[in-house]
Amino acid sequence: MSAATQAAPQRRTAAPRRSGGWRIVAAKEFADHILSARFYVLVLILGAAALIPLYFAAEGIRSVAPVASEVPAVFLYLFRVSPPDFGILRVDLWVSITAPLLGVAFAFDSINGERHEGTLPRLLSQPIHRDDVINGKFAAGLGVITLVLLAVVLVITGFGLLRLGVVPGESELVRVALWFLVTVLYVALWLAIGLLLSVVVRGAATSALIGVGLWLFVAVPYFGPALFGLVGGVVTGDPATQQLLQRLLPSTLYFEVSSVLLDPRVATTASSLSLSQQIQNVARIPNAGLSVDQSLLLIWPHIVTLFGATVGCFALAYTRFMRQEVRA
């Protein structure tokens, strides 16, 4: 018997790798997210952030009922009407500020938390591909966020139907559905950012602090957008350059997309009137407004940019994770 034949029985066959392993990881992570205290705390935060502006929006619509009865797409005002002295109390603005916290919260410790607990080597030793881990974690976080945002939209819709008796039309439902999808995309960007921080930064607490700092600088309108606008105004003094610098921030892109989708009368993303001016102008021209197709033509560059940024951040996290050394 030859030496090769004698050595053959000693060779071990590698365990077959499971196809669709990312679904297994995603299902486990999704269940852990749903049962975690973090999920319920963030649901309460986002729910309060939506319901408080919704109350003021309902009162605002009631106070201008004679005018609102002639305004097209009055259902959409539930998402964008605010009190005269508190412009920040708008559903779309509050969601744009608080929803990114969901992305950061569900991803900042997804990889470094496993590494810190010593479970990452054990997870990678399972018969799944290495990329199934990061793909599954991203899919689970996005699934939970989508579920929470869908619940918020359904609550707002039900509130409008039951309390105000506002029945949305077909175009209004399409606009709300598109706004919901864009919101999921915007939060997916923050989920990818949190995942990237979790891969690059070893400590979960450090990645959380960096994520919250980025959120304060980018998502909160009184920090990043104001600073970029100030820099543009000081350097050039040109309003066009100021707006260009502000559009480097994803929060600015998302807010402009929300303004166009939730207000058929907005025909430009360069500037918009105040809400009181919008109601007065629409009352004078009750049939004014863009169709859904026209609004999409106006904002498709913003959507493509948000999508590209999301793919880019996830690609960076994916590449870095695949090249990292994991020791038992």
Classify residue 5: in a domain, yes or no: no
Total of domains in the chain: 1
Classify residue 48: in a domain, yes or no: yes
Classify residue 87: in a domain, yes or no: yes
pLDDT at position 167, please?
74
Classify residue 8: in a domain, yes or no: no
pTM of the predicted structure, to 2 decimals: 0.80
pLDDT at position 186, please?
94
Alpha helix segments (H runs only) across the chain:
3-7, 21-35, 37-63, 65-68, 91-105, 112-117, 120-124, 130-159, 170-200, 204-218, 224-235, 239-246, 250-261, 275-284, 292-323
pLDDT at position 280, please?
44
Domain range for 284? 20-323
Residue with tokens 């509050």: 94
Task: Give yes or no for a contact between 282 and 288, defined as CB atoms under 8 angstroms apart.
Answer: yes
Classify residue 31: in a domain, yes or no: yes
pLDDT at position 40, please?
84
Instruction: Name the stretches of the chain with pLDDT < 50.
Output: 1-16, 65-66, 68-69, 271-287
Classify residue 14: in a domain, yes or no: no
pLDDT at position 279, please?
43
CA distances from 108 to 113, 191, 199, 217, 299 (A): 8, 8, 9, 17, 30
Classify residue 162: in a domain, yes or no: yes
Classify residue 89: in a domain, yes or no: yes
Give the separation between CA 59 and CA 56, rounded to whole angstroms.
5
